Amino acid sequence: MKVTLYSAQPYDERFFEEARLEGFAEEPFELIYQKVTLTHQTTALAEGSDAVCVFVNDVLDERVLEALAGMGVKAIVLRCAGFNNIDLAAAERLGFFVARVPAYSPEAVAEHALALAMTLNRHTHRAFNRVREGNFALDGLLGVTLQGKTVGIVGTGRIGLATARIFKGLGCRVLGSDPFPAEDFKAIGEIVEVDTLLAQSDIVSLHCPLTQATHHLINEASLERMKPGAMLINTSRGALIDTCAVIEALKSRQLGALAIDVYEQESGLFFKDRSSEIIDDDVFSRLMTFPNVLVTGHQGFFTVEALREIAQVTFNNLLCLARGAHCDNALMRGDGASR
């Protein structure tokens, strides 16, 4: 089976080759690594492949899917949990097998959310730069003690649960909001309506999927309902946040601080070295001018454990396809039916 990996970085090749040699060396998998993102202009790179392996910023709209189907590609395996970048209706119509990695080291993303909160709160990123320049003044580095503060977790799936447990361990009061709350959350905190969570939380951390219902979940109206001066963290999907509305809330001081590991227009920015380029995204550039904003480039998942799990689960998904076996992670079975 020939598989073309789009958006492949050196670390992808490292962990996929490691997984192939350790557990799938006897299987007839041929991996082709392509650095470019999958778009209609790059579909030709999958010529002769049985499957494509894609990541969060690859485009799988109807036009791309039709082009892939026309070249004989039969399967799409996502090395991520989210699948909002694929037109599932078109995939079903074209008979694609589609599978994902539903969860990979949820603690990796949860710990990154904590790192962002702690960094913003105690200004360690600014302190690091000051000390390197010989400036040991403490003015402007004042934080708060997190113990006793209220943390709101929007989305109580595996990552949300892991994040809740971490903040609970710090002595925080934890609130959760989810249309289908996890039963395990009740042992950690209190399930409330999202408006109650926004109004009472000192820190709001987003851990929900991107759907029509959650698109711009954080907008002008919801920001006004937040506790004045609260911190907002997003390690989930960029489009959960209306960035322009967040900028206005930062300017008015309604929002006290912002940490994001994802950005709605990140596909044109993240995962590449752009230090010698001019960033022509005016919204992103404005966001970077705030001293109380912290941005990381979609690295919440980026741990050894998570990358190993992504590679192993992806190979297992491909193995199910090759053997015609049931795949627990399939969104589409390849026979024109969803799971």
Catalytic site residues?
Answer: 237, 266
Q: Exposed (0-12), middle (13-18) or buried (19+): which is 147, by Cβ within 10 Å?
A: exposed
Q: How many CB atoms lie within 10 A of CB 124?
A: 14
For 160-298, list the strands marked E by DSSP. Answer: 173-177, 190-191, 203-206, 230-234, 255-260, 293-295
Q: How many CB atoms lie within 10 A of CB 306?
A: 20
Host H or E run for residue 32: strand 30-33
Tokens coding 34? 């392509």
Looking at residue 181, its amino acid is P
The CA-based dihedral angle spanning residues 191, 264, 81, 43, taken in that order and rounded to the nearest 10 degrees: 160
CA 244 from chain center: how many Å?
A: 20
